[in-house]
Amino acid sequence: MDRFPFAVGTPFLDALSPAQRSVYGDAPFETTTVEFDALEPTTYDLLWWHQEESLVITDALYTHRERLLPYLRAGGGLLLTGRALSAVAALGVDPVPPDVTGVEEEPTGPLPKARYTDHPLFSGFDERAFTAEHAPFARYEGILPERGELLAATARGSGDAYGQLPMAVWRVGRGAVLGIGSFVSAGEAFGERRDRLLSNAVDCLARPEELPERPRDVPALGELRATLAGDHHRPSHHLTAPANWLNDPNGLVRWNGRYHVFYQYNPAGPHHGTIHWGHVSSSDLVRWRDEPVALTPSPNGPDRDGCWSGCAVDDDGTPTLVYTGGRDRRQLPCLATSDDPDLRTWETYEANPVIELPPDEPALRSTEHWETEFRDHALWREGDTWHHLIGSGTDEGTGVVLYYTGTDLANWRYEGPVLAGEPGEGHMWECPELLGFADRDLLHVSNYEEVRYFVGSFDAARGRFERESTGLLDHGDFYAPQSLADGDRYLTWGWLPEARGAREQWDAGWSGCLSLPRELSVEGDELRQRPAAELEALRGERHEFDIALEPGTETELPVRGRSLELAAEIHLDGADSVELACLTAASGGERTTIRYTDDELLIDRSAAGGPGTVEEPVTAPADDLSDPLTLRAFVDGSVVELFANERRCLTGRVYPESEGSDRLSLSATGGAASVSMELWPLESIW
């Protein structure tokens, strides 16, 4: 038994159970067992409460907070293991206790977040090491603690569970509470590893100032971002969260001279979970800074299970977010407002939700997760009338955009479907948005697989959109875009999801980024997209090439990099194809190939990355693109984003294993071709 230089008290409720007697007695350090009612916390340097049986929260348990909280604020430490973690609300540590309890059927162990793998708490642990079998647990799954920082997910014999989170830490004054809601049991299996975990935990609690806190303010978020700076897959000129999970862009607005981009964010880790709203801002679209999390689920509100996608509007000088709140199996619209000129603090509307029920007609889609699919909001005002679009699907298997009007943001009248999909256009339409141009309107929706747009006209009097043509905003890894009206242009960002497995995302510590800001326009009935002009300010030294390509030869360019912009004019002449290889290793074996033919534009990623990554190509038709092809290409860590003749966009995610995969080359097949190219290294936007 190790000799720790501090006293550890092990309290219990009512009677000491056999499991507690076993765990406390086998601890790798000396303990003193004491009943809670007789506990004098200051007698001990640390307290450890283990609970294997179901914990009944009684009024008596609340009385213990009166002694524990002053003890913690003065520098004491409290370790909660097993189902004792369920007491955090009763003890005044966090208003949100774990939402799932039970007993594990398999061997389990902690799966630390990427930024905590080197923390002393996990010292001496191999990757995915099991510490217990048939362990009791209390963990966060559908909800997250309001104040605590989650440290680890669950490694399990049958596979890792990234959304099952039983380890958390709370800083309370000068002290701390460490919760290990699993991985500790009275069994003998994995006893040595269990004892190491307990020893590490007690040792860390003896120095509470060294335990992490959830990053909340701008400096802390910057420090969090810095922990991932060495990842060569991490984009530098595309927007990312400081760490963890990012999906849809939300709430795009220009306010007091700054651009604000909010996004779907899970602070628990790089997996989709309890969604908050992350936030970044910029004065010029070039340099960005992280802002504090804007929306957090309310423990007792209609958004308890997540604050999902929505938009930002100016309500007579009040910045207002309209978003989807989720609770149990219901999705309904909610509001939040701010009186902060920097949009860093928000208050949710006390009468949320502002629509109580989805409409009865048409009959809307339901799933095992949701009573009705009814989410994502796009709003605009004309005169005294607010117009409001919501995404859904019908029980007949087609997507639909629903239309509401109102004279204020809290009261809405249902007007009916503004547009219903046809077979093959998706059974659910998420993230609808309507943009008005000079003589045409553009409506786009996301249908789980793609972002489909419709060019046509919107008739507000009839509440209907008449389609004239349709297409895809992007033919690759691009989803759920949202736009910002900025003077005489629209700026659009989309979510670029990962094309690698959940394990690779967890190990990286981050998931998802946003596209470059795109300027949209409609010419005739055709959509045009180009990178925002401000991005040129990121350019470094300019390189220019005019290259005649002979078939069967490869020309390596004298520029290397993983953060580049290329502007090329490609003449096929007699060639069947022209290929631009980027992110290429010195050996040439690892490469991402952009291939242009008469028929298609393609990102070939068959040799682009390592295990766990998608190898299927990303393709777009090119038969109606003029020759020569004018191509703008942005290469950024794991992103290849293409703009072809300003008419077609194609985005692919790739993950070269080698940090030295940064070479560029050109080649042609089937005949001669020529390429004129400008190339710039790009600076970071952070």
| Residues known to be catalytic | 248
Helix (H, G, I), strand (E, B) or coil at 293: strand
Residue type at position 207: R
Query: What's the CA gap between 402 and 361, in Å, rounded?
Result: 10
CA angle 505, 509, 513 (to 5 degrees): 70
Query: What's the CA gap between 48 and 12, in Å, rounded?
Result: 9
Q: Which of 298, 229, 308, 226 is nearest to 265 (CA)?
A: 308
Other CB atoms within 10 Å distance of the CB of residue 196: 18
Read off the tokens for 511: 């998931």
Rg (CA), the chain: 28
Residues facing 288 on adjacent strands: 282
| 94 and 117 Cβ atoms separated by less than 8 Å | no
| 415 and 445 Cβ atoms separated by less than 8 Å | no
Reduced 3-state DSSP string for 91-107 = CCCCCCCCCEEEECCCE
Residue type at position 490: Y
Q: Which of 678, 323, 284, 233 is nearest to 517 (CA)?
A: 284
Residue 95: asked if its preceding bond is cis (omega within 30°), the reply is: no
Query: What's the CA gap between 661 and 564, in Å, rounded?
Result: 13
Burial class of residue 506 (count of CB atoms within 10 Å of its CB; 0-12, 13-18, 19+)? buried
Could you give the count of Cα atoms lying within 13 Å of 579 in the half-sphere of its Cβ? 23
Residues 6+ away with beta carbon under 8 Å from 605: 499, 592, 613, 614, 615, 616, 617, 618, 652, 654
Show the beta-strand stretches assigned E in 267-421: 276-282, 288-295, 306-315, 318-327, 330-337, 347-348, 375-382, 385-393, 399-408, 411-420
Read off the tokens for 332: 């309904």
